[in-house]
Amino acid sequence: MSASIAPECNSIKEKYDTCFLKWYSEKYLRGNTTSNECDELFSKYKKCLNIVLKEKGIESMLEDARKSMKDSEAE
């Protein structure tokens, strides 16, 4: 599995990734699109990740990138 930018989040990320891959291949791609079985793991992973994104100053960079993405859609 790919590594997280935040080494301390690797283990929760791996759990989440595994859950997602199972859900995606066994349910979503087979037409069962309403499910939240990985939500809990995802919010734990995100909580871990967000701390690091803030520390590294990536969060503000993300906002800018999203903005310019919207701009280019509007063009």
Partner 1 sequence: MKFFENVFTYDYSFPAVSLAYFLRYPNPYSRHVLTTDVIDRYVDPKTHRLHTTRLHLKKSKVPSGILKLLPKGIGGSDSSGQSYILETTIVDAKEGWMKTESRNMEWTGILSVIEKQVYQRQPNEGAVGRLEELSLEEKRSEQTTVRTTVTFHSRFGQGKLLGRKKTEHTGDHTGEYEEEAPKRGLFSSLSTAGIQRTIELIGLNRTRDAVVKSKQGMNVVLERLRSGGVVGVLEGMRQDRDAVLGPDGGPWKRVWLGGNGHASLKEDDH
Residues of the shown chain interacting with partner 1 in the complex, contacts defined by CB under 8 A: 1-6, 9, 13, 16-17, 20-22, 24-25, 28-31, 33-34, 42, 45-46, 49, 53, 57-58, 60-62, 64-69, 72
Closer by beta carbon to partner 1, 11 or else 25: 25
Per-residue burial over 13-37, b if 16 or more Cβ lie within 10 Å, else e, is bbbbbebbeebeeeeeeeeeeeeee
Q: Read off the tokens for 26.
A: 């066994």
Neighbours of 60 (CB within 10 A): 10
CB of 53 to partner 1, least distance (A): 8
CB of 30 to partner 1, least distance (A): 6
